[in-house]
Amino acid sequence: MSDSPIDPTLLDRLAEVSIRTGLNLQPGQQLVLTAPVAALPLVRAVTAAAYRAGASLVTPILSDPEVALARYRNATDDSFDTAPGWLYSGMAEAFAGGAARMAIVGEDPMLMSEQDPARVSRAGKANSTAYKPALTKIANFEINWTICAWPGAEWAQRMFPDLAPDAAQARLAEAIFAASRVTGDDPVTAWAEHNAALRARTEWMNAQRFSALHFRSPGTDLTVGLADDHEWHGGASEAQNGVVCNPNIPTEEVFTTPHAQRVDGTVRSTKPLSHQGSLIDDIAVTFKDGRIVEAAAGTGGDILRELLATDEGAARLGEVALVPHSSPISQSGLLFYNTLFDENAACHIALGQCYSKCFLDGASLSPDEVAARGGNTSLIHVDWMIGGAETDIDGLTASGDRVPVFRGGEWA
């Protein structure tokens, strides 16, 4: 018997769902897989599921928190402007050759909280710059890709500090399995039904052809203009390579691309944002003509300001997403300190790079055409949560009519 606090049967189900539903990995396709080294049990299960699905090759790339911290403790200052461009160029080459992409998350959300924010920001910017060739293929949805989660021990302790380590990890594992819809006997069918429900929401939003959304809640009065010829997506979507996949396991959102020049008003975060191992909380910003002109945070203000200064597009929006307060992740009452989960508990917006797939005929658009329709470009894509039980949203039509979309945090 295993001494692990994580149910091995449910871990295998998560691996199977991630390959079959998340990636929909195709026979003969290669898989590039990144994960923290602590997630090796899930890496092994995913690898086995991938080969059962017909993968030609699985290439895992592992990270380690102590290796990451060693840089901050020992490296020279110029190290923080360096990134492995050769690695990311190789990943971009693999994606161009048809490989799929999976990321397993599960790191300590506060790993870098005691490090110099300027160095964390510099390292992040260098990494984002180097990663751009690979990120572009993901953001443009050229390949099938997905993200799933491992219940990391340090992450579990952050969420459940009053529990013993094994109990905390078991509790996080249960939460991940429930949110990822693998606790039933037939998770693949459960995901098909969930995808159908999300598809019905996206079809309704697309039929409305709103020109903007107006968000109202305590501390928020924000009008988000929508990009010209925008298209809503949610759940399973078809990548440019023809493979239908679920980019996030779990997911509860329907989302689209805002217009980078047409966002105005004030907005306040409703959940903390864990970014690059640091926490940013109580975010309050003001937009004018699409750009953030005032920004503050109760915690992590320096990190937020460094993030917004990454490039010209970092202070503009690349995504707006709708998630009801009744989402299972919201109703769990848990704060995950992890965007994969917390963004699926609340409506959210994302700073930075847009998804070109969120346009009518997005696959055929050039970068200049995406920009002409209002799509944003940036080295970053950072989601933060603005929704909750008091969120009201109206859709604004081109003629100025208002249509209720959300009332009291729920679909209207």
Domains of the chain, CATH where assigned: 8-179 (3.40.1830.10), 209-411 (no CATH)
With a CB cutoff of 8 Å and minimum separation 6, the contacts of 11 are 41, 42, 45, 173
**pLDDT tens for the 412 residues of the chain, in order:** 457 899 999 999 999 999 999 999 999 999 999 999 999 999 999 999 999 999 999 999 999 999 999 999 999 999 999 999 999 999 999 999 999 999 999 999 999 989 998 999 899 999 999 999 999 999 889 999 999 999 999 999 999 999 999 999 999 999 999 999 999 999 999 999 999 999 999 999 999 999 999 999 999 999 999 999 999 999 999 999 999 999 999 999 999 999 999 999 999 999 999 887 888 999 999 999 999 999 999 999 999 999 999 999 999 999 999 999 999 999 999 999 998 999 999 999 999 999 988 999 888 899 999 999 999 999 999 999 999 999 999 999 999 899 999 999 999 9
Which residue in this structure is represented by tokens 């805002």? 258
Peptide bond into 250 cis (omega under 30): yes
CA atoms within 13 A on the CB side of 205: 32
**Both tokens of residue 136?**
């572009």
Residue 253 near residue 234, CB atoms below 8 Å = yes
Cα 70 to chain center, whole Å?
27
For residue 27, the Cα-to-chain-centroid distance in whole angstroms is 27
